[in-house]
Amino acid sequence: MPFSNNVCATNPAFIGQLGFDPRYAYFSTSEIRVMGLVLLQTAPGGNPGTAVVKSHQHPTWTKAGWLAPIQLDRQGNIYTAPAPFINVLHNPAKGQNTIWKVDAVTGIMDKFLELPLRDSLSEDNPFGIIGMVLLCETGTLFVSTLAGSDRYHERGAIYAIDLATGKIIDQITGTDAMGMGISYITGLRKLYFGTGRSSDIYAVTLDSKGRFSGSPEKELSIAGLGPGGDDKVRRIRTDNLGNLIIMGMEFNYNLIPQREKRETTYKFLFDASSGSWVRQ
């Protein structure tokens, strides 16, 4: 099976300037007692989330409230977006569709791009941007948002953004996409994503300029798997062998306390003979 890993993230230069060891340093937006982005370092051999020996937070890393997605580019710039945590006190709805950028050299976080906001913002759905993934060869950042959707109406979108210009170059609307990932299968680069409406995973082919080619089509599903059998896709990544690693969890357009979030990992291998994904 032809496969090419879509990995090009580079550590920001300011990590070294702050005296952090890139081998053991990582960024997090999921620290329970720390709002915003934080740089952490573990002891040698430690895993992210354990044995933290030092931390750093630039003053600008909290001005967007609680954050969720983190995506680094080739230059070490960091892209992130607001996401409510427990409540929406620090995350007003009008700011939930804003992409923020942390400069790779200065470490300063500032607004990068404000995505379109629908008039149908509702307190029933506290979410805006929930996913980011980068297509390395074109420098295209794919961003998914649920802004404007509710339990009964699907009004989300996936935006393709050229990082060099900061412009939206393509979009898929009317889709509540979650857990995006990119894989190179049978000669085609595809964007895979889950949906807040079901346990299905869809894929859309990407062209040489990082735009969408054709419409999304269902490729596989995690329905019936996991603790409750109705997991939604939280994250998708590709391992070094080209397998899809899918993290699923319960999702119902409401805020779930961190301690109650159950995440299950699913692994799928592409079967070239049948042209389909098979669970491992």
- What residue ranges of the chain have pLDDT lower than 70? 1-5, 46-50, 86, 120, 122-123, 252-261
Distance CA 170, CA 177 (A): 15
pLDDT at 92: 87
Q: Are 277 and 270 in contact (CB under 8 A)?
A: yes
Q: Do 254 and 84 meet the contact criterion of CB atoms below 8 Å apart? A: no
Query: Do the bridges between strand 78-82 and strand 263-271 make them parallel or antiparallel, or are there none, so unpaired?
Result: unpaired
Determine the pLDDT at residue 263: 84
Q: How far apart are CA 112 and CA 81, in angstroms?
A: 10
What is the per-residue pLDDT for 85? 77
Fold classification of 60-279 is: Methylamine Dehydrogenase; Chain H (2.130.10)
pLDDT of residue 261: 60
Query: What is the per-residue pLDDT across 212-256, written as a single tens digit (0 to 9) for each?
Result: 999 999 999 999 998 888 898 989 998 888 899 999 988 766 665
The whole-number pLDDT of residue 110 equals: 98
Q: Which helix (H) or strand (E) holds 16?
A: helix 13-17
| pLDDT score for 84 | 86
pLDDT for 99: 98
Query: How many other CB atoms are found less than 10 A from the CB of residue 60?
Result: 17
What does the domain layout of the chain look like in residue ranges? 60-279
Residues 6+ apart with CB under 8 A from 179: 131, 193, 194, 232, 233, 234, 235, 236, 246, 247, 248
